[in-house]
Structure 1
Amino acid sequence: MPAPQTASRSLDTRPALGHVNLMVDTFIANANADDLRSIVRNLLATNPPHFAHAFTTAARSRLRQTTARASINPYALFVRQSSHTGAPAGPTPHLHDVLTRARSLYGAGMGFTSLNILASIVRASVGLRWDDDDGDLAALLAVIDADIGQAIQASGISSSSVGPGPDPPGDVRRLLMVDDDARFIPIQSSKEEIEGGRVNDDDFGTARAIVDDLRKAVKESMADVAAWGGEFPFERAASSLDHWKI
């Protein structure tokens, strides 16, 4: 008589993969965004590092799917200043959505994809005018400058040989939607994409093209702002790009 084949099953207590517990899925489907953020942060902070690695790997997989379907209209990012009504230049809701996507990408370690988006934003800002009284637009451009620094390297340093700079000021941190107790440390970034082996030989050409395009966009902005005597808003990005070789 053949031996019973039930022992191996009874010893295998690993959970089945590919499904979420019904009650947990019900909670996820109905919880608000703030609660989910708090829960995820707590899980990442109280578990071993490999847990965060698995989380960002899953995040990148999801973002690759959604980014492939997303599109950016560079002409819909800013409202141009009006010479007829005197209305100042400013951002559009589309810009907010695009910035949110860029931050999700570099936060998950997809720095080059994020830089591609940020280059479009910098180029779209060429031709805008602002003055000392227009603090909102100047502050927003400063945040975008910080975004570029974060995408290049999450601590905002321009090169490993230059050393870390100060954390972004409080207003920038708030606009980036970063918790007050969050630390800016050099983890997910374009540099880490290379150092972590996530950019293979076939991708290096694309990565260089993205960085070169961002450099051109920053230089276009610098020339435009100099022409009308404004204060160049992307100093941090320009400094980072000057020291970054890939």
Structure 2
Amino acid sequence: MIASPAPAFFETHPRGHVNLMTDTVIANLDINDLRAITRHLVSMTPLNAASFCAAARARLKQTATKATPLSDSSQLFVVDAEAESSEPGPALAPLLARARAYFGSGLGFESLKLLEDVVNATADHEWKPEGAMADSLALVDADISQAIQSCTDALGSGAMEDRTSARLILDGLFDALTSCRIAVEGWGGEFPFDRGLGNLNYLRNTLTV
């Protein structure tokens, strides 16, 4: 069955126009084809990349209020009683995907709020040094570092003008990371977010309010 044209991208009409046939193609393309075409268009000129990120930021800000809040952090990680270790839960991948969309489009500070939830949830668990949990936490550490870079870029470009709010977000993540490190070291584990904490401390030390 042919899908109907996609719903409006923005609540107010953006500049330009997507005709019916083009919209029908967008609505019916396989997701992998759509990604390939998008990457091709974005790579053609720097202006395309900038326009794409601007549109992504607008869309993410528009849908932020509609996104399902993380009401139960217990679904980020789950305990495998048989293995005597925690494992990634069903809520982790969707949350990380949204965080990556945020920092990838320039919304680094928004992504840190999501990643702070992951750090806080991590503090409640124990895991083996190798396995799915350790691998997932290594990815989260990399995500934190990339989000910090996105924050640095936003501050440098002037896109983030409210430096007081920026400081509060950074301090919140710092507190979460510090508490997590204490909890992990308490059961003899290896703190998984060293790289992220190091990058965070550098930005906190250079940020003036």
Whether the TM-score (by the shorter chain) exceeds 0.5 is yes
* 1:196 aligned partner: 157
Q: What secondary structure, in the 3-state scheme, does the structure 2 residue paired with 1:90 have?
A: strand
Does the Cα contact within 8 Å between 1:79 and 1:90 map onto a contact in 2? yes
Q: What secondary structure, in the 3-state scheme, does the structure 1 residue paired with 2:85 have?
A: coil
1:57-110 deviations in Å (ceiling 9; x for gaps):
11100000111222113232111353xx55531122211111110000000000
1:148-195 deviations in Å (ceiling 9; x for gaps):
001111xxxxxxxxxxxxxxxxxxxxxxxxxxxxxxxxxxx1111111
**What aligned pairs does 1:42-57 form with structure 2 within 5 A after superposition?**
42-47=40-45, 49-57=46-54
Report the Cα offset of residue 20 of structure 1: 0.7
| TM-score with structure 1 setting the length | 0.73
* 1:76 aligned partner: 75
**Residue 223 of structure 1: which of 179, 182, 203 is its match?**
182
**What aligned pairs does 1:1-246 form with structure 2 within 5 A after superposition?**
17-47=15-45, 49-70=46-67, 71-73=69-71, 74-82=73-81, 85-132=82-129, 134-153=130-149, 189-200=150-161, 203-244=162-203, 245-246=206-207
Q: What secondary structure, in the 3-state scheme, does the structure 2 residue paired with 1:43 have?
A: helix
Output the CA distance in 1 between the equivalents of 2:160 and 2:196.
22
Output the CA distance in 1 between the equivalents of 2:142 and 2:83.
29
* 1:8 aligned partner: none
Output the CA distance in 1 between the equivalents of 2:164 and 2:30.
41
**RMSD of the alignment, in Å?**
1.6
Report the Cα offset of residue 127 of structure 1: 2.1
Output the CA distance in 1 between the equivalents of 2:169 and 2:66.
19
Provide structure 1 residue ranges, at least 5 long, that are not aligned to the other structure. 1-15, 154-188
Output the CA distance in 1 between the equivalents of 2:187 and 2:26.
51
Bigger helix fraction:
2
| TM-score with structure 2 setting the length | 0.85
Moved more, 207-216 or 69-78: 69-78
Does the Cα contact within 8 Å between 1:81 and 1:128 map onto a contact in 2? no
Partner AA of 1:123 in structure 2 = N
Partner AA of 1:90 in structure 2 = E
Output the CA distance in 2 between the equivalents of 1:27 and 1:199.
36
Q: How many residues align?
A: 190
Output the CA distance in 1 between the equivalents of 2:136 and 2:83.
20
Output the CA distance in 1 between the equivalents of 2:86 and 2:185.
18
- Superposition misfits of 4+ residues, deviation over 3 angstroms: none
Does the Cα contact within 8 Å between 2:154 and 2:160 map onto a contact in 1? yes
Structure scoring higher RCO (CA < 8 A, sep ≥ 6) equals: 1
| Distance change in 2, residues 1:123/1:239 (3 Å) | same
Larger Rg: 1
